[in-house]
Amino acid sequence: MTRLSVNINKIATLRNARGGNMPDVEKAAVDCVRFGAEGITVHPRPDERHIRYSDVRAIRPLLEVEMNIEGNPVPKFIDIVNEVVPDQVTLVPDAPDAITSNAGWDTVRHRDFLTEICKEFKDKGIRCSIFVNPDPAAVYGAAECGADRVELYTAMYAEEYASCPERAVEPYLRAAEAARECGLGLNAGHDLNLHNLEFFIRTIPWTDEVSIGHAIICDSLYMGLEKTIAAYLSRIKI
């Protein structure tokens, strides 16, 4: 059964835009869980423009569900992961100036580096997921790096979904089958929303987890956070 992990970065973005503590990011994390979220994702970046490292520390002991910390494994990121010991870490190759994540790892080119990082985190009992494009070669490479899971970067799926859902999902299905073949767990995330999520899950029902933030926060402006999380859960609990 696919789990929903809610990324709360955009809640922190709203707080940071005004200063102070409104909205309260810690309370938002707890409320997301109360409303049905089965995980919380945070993506601290070096400039702390949304989730701050202090948020990561504060949220960790509040959660009774899985915590997923995603980001580029620069030294500061490695330090916070080793300090708070989340349930899962997702390695994302985003540049410091990237507005949002925009590509997966070349797991062949960066094999030595990723292997070292995966080992460090797995030695602490942290599940390790590598963010990849929908390419079976990248999936096989992640397995060789020692990852436990891959997270498929679903932006291209979201872009093509409206014109042809079957064509949009086809490369993701191939990558997902590669993950299943080599024994990797499967996550997915980026631009998944209420319109395209259910088709993705129906096509790839062995998806372990979807991580969704931006769309959930946008929808919650109209529907409220509790109803929005319920709506997303209805799309994946099929």
CA–CA–CA angle 206, 113, 129 (5° rounding): 20
106 and 142 Cβ atoms separated by less than 8 Å: no
Rounded to whole angstroms, how far apart are CA atoms 88 and 90?
7
Rounded to whole angstroms, how far apart are CA atoms 18 and 30?
22
Crossing angle of the two packed helices 9-18 and 25-34, in degrees rounded to 10? 150
70 and 90 Cβ atoms separated by less than 8 Å: yes
Catalytic residue among 38, 50, 70, 209: 70
Active site residue 66: no
Q: List C-alpha distances in Å: 40 to 28, 68, 141, 166.
A: 10, 6, 27, 30
Active site residue 70: yes
Rounded to whole angstroms, how far apart are CA atoms 188 and 176?
10
Catalytic residue among 50, 151, 190, 209: 190
Active site residue 195: no
Rounded to whole angstroms, how far apart are CA atoms 175 and 216?
25
139 and 132 Cβ atoms separated by less than 8 Å: yes
Catalytic residue among 43, 50, 151, 209: 43
CA–CA–CA angle 3, 63, 199 (5° rounding): 15
The residues annotated with a catalytic role in the active site are: 43, 70, 190
